[in-house]
């Protein structure tokens, strides 16, 4: 039957489809997110839809399903295995997103090198780089075995044929925005193409038991470009974060069907590629000033890993009618709230002062456990009184000025003790349940007034 082309409007956030343009998406309530794309229609008026379902199977009784431990393959990179939940699960579909030039392709190529040395059959499909460009990057990383095959192609139908013919164990798609499906008339990178192409890869991963990694570009808001439904289709979503001008990178899992989403992996970008940072606390505290006011070390938890971070604050009288507030690495509204608590509960006249709060190293933390560290840094800068050396503080601060308990307090204290800190200021509730730890003095506080007395 002959086909004719008509256009539909798709939401870039959730994939909602409508026949006319709307200012607000009825599905996700996002504004100005609908884009127009062509759709192939048969002469009978029915849209062509690609069948993406796998082999049909009969319904199964829940109690009759055998529970077998999923097979995992270690990547040879401990930080990547931590975020994945212990390794690569066979038949999984993983989406890796990040800013351009952040190191996504380098990370996956290093993973391919480690797996190829274990004689794993890997197919690296690139739609953005030539074979020579990939070879130049691979020469900086190290030697590869013959089990890694490179394929430069953007036609997903051709890629599907090669995967079914070669049957590799690991497949890398770099990137999904460059792939196009011949059954979809839209342009590569459009909502329809990204969604349908991911559906084809999902069917291949589940049907053939192949672990597939997809590289996804991100928008200016920091989310993966394309419909939000793309993140719902895959098993794992990883974001590679960090400042391009800084040396470290953070791999964060925001979705993981086979493990925790709270873990992070820390890497350092070097000439030979990405190097794992086994002790992020020591790395973040490198170069901390001695005897400077407004500098306090606090401890946050990233999954099961405690991480010490330096919090810097600068408070000075404003020369304008409206004081300026600025934060880097933490929530702006949270800092304003804590300053209001100090002014109300301690009588500190900081309402007319400029305030700048920075988490050194460029890391971003929103955990409430660093509230006490922010409060102490602001007090130290306002009074121009340095915090004594060897002090670390953590705890959540409420609107009444109370210091509330935080989770996993013992792990935070042991991390501080391991790095040589001699005093830890923590909530009194946590101190009452804390076992005795040698080599560090524990000070429990019930309110910000108690913390101020410790300064």
8 A C-beta contact, residue 387 and residue 404: no
Q: Is 167 annotated as a binding residue?
A: no
Backbone φ, ψ for residue 297 (5° rounding): -95, 130
Q: Is 26 annotated as a binding residue?
A: no
Q: Is 59 annotated as a binding residue?
A: no
Task: Compute the distance between CA of residue 25 and CA of residue 320 in angstroms, rounded to an integer.
Answer: 42
Q: Is 104 annotated as a binding residue?
A: yes
Long-range interactions of 346-349: CB distance < 8 A, separation 24+: 346/379, 346/401, 346/448, 346/449, 346/452, 348/379, 348/382
8 A C-beta contact, residue 9 and residue 18: yes
- Say if strands 248-256 and 264-270 run parallel, antiparallel, or are unpaired: antiparallel
Q: Which two tokens mark 64?
A: 């009759």
Task: Compute the distance between CA of residue 371 and CA of residue 338 in angstroms, rounded to an integer.
Answer: 8
Q: Is 102 annotated as a binding residue?
A: yes
Task: Compute the distance between CA of residue 373 and CA of residue 357 in angstroms, rounded to an integer.
Answer: 11
Contacts of 156 (CB under 8 A, 6+ apart): 179, 180, 181, 182, 197, 200
Task: Compute the distance between CA of residue 128 and CA of residue 354 in angstroms, rounded to an integer.
Answer: 47
303: left (phi over 0), alpha (psi -120 to 50) or beta: left
Sign of CA dihedral 150, 153, 158, 159: positive
* Concatenated DSSP letters of 425-446: EEEHHHHHTPPP-TTSEEEEES
Known binding-site residue numbers for ATP? 98-105
Known binding-site residue numbers? 98-105
């Amino acid at each position: 039957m002959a086909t004719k082309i008509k256009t539909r409007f798709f939401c870039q956030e959730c994939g909602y489809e409508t026949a006319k343009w709307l200012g607000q998406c009825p599905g996700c309530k996002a504004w100005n997110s609908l884009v127009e794309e062509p759709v192939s229609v048969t002469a009978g008026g029915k849209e062509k839809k690609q069948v993406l379902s796998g082999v049909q199977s009969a319904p199964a009784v829940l109690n009759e399903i055998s529970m077998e431990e999923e097979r995992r393959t270690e990547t040879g990179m401990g930080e990547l295995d931590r975020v994945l939940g212990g390794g690569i699960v066979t038949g999984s579909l993983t989406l890796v997103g990040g800013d351009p030039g952040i190191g996504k392709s380098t990370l996956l190529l290093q993973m391919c090198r480690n797996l190829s040395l274990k004689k794993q059959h890997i197919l690296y499909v690139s739609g953005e780089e030539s074979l020579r460009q990939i070879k130049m990057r691979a020469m900086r990383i190290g030697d590869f075995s013959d089990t890694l095959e490179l394929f430069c192609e953007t036609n997903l139908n051709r890629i599907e044929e090669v995967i079914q013919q070669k049957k590799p164990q690991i497949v890398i798609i770099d990137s999904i925005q460059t792939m196009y499906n011949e059954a979809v008339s839209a342009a590569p990178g459009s909502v329809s193409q990204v969604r349908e192409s991911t559906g084809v890869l999902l069917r291949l991963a589940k049907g053939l038991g192949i672990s597939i990694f997809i590289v996804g570009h991100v928008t200016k808001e920091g989310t993966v470009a394309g419909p939000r439904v793309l993140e719902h289709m895959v098993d794992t979503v990883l974001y590679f974060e960090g400042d391009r001008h800084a040396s470290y990178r953070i791999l964060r899992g925001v979705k993981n069907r086979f493990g925790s989403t709270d873990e992070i992996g820390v890497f350092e970008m070097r000439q030979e590629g990405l190097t794992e940072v086994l002790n992020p606390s020591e790395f973040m505290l490198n170069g901390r000033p001695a005897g400077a006011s407004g500098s306090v070390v606090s401890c946050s938890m990233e999954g099961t890993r405690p991480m010490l971070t330096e919090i810097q604050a600068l408070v000075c009288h404003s020369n304008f009618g409206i004081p300026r507030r600025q934060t880097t690495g933490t929530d702006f509204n949270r800092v304003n709230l804590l300053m209001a608590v100090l002014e109300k509960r301690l009588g500190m006249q900081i309402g007319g002062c400029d305030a700048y709060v920075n988490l050194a190293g460029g890391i971003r933390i929103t955990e409430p456990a660093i509230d006490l560290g922010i409060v102490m840094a602001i007090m130290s800068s306002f009074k121009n009184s340095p915090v004594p050396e060897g002090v670390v503080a953590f705890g959540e601060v409420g609107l009444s000025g109370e210091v509330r308990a935080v989770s996993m307090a013992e792990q935070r204290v042991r991390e501080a003790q391991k790095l040589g800190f001699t005093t830890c200021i923590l909530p009194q509730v946590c101190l009452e349940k804390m076992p005795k730890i040698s080599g560090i003095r524990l000070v429990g506080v019930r309110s910000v007034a108690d913390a101020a007395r410790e300064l």
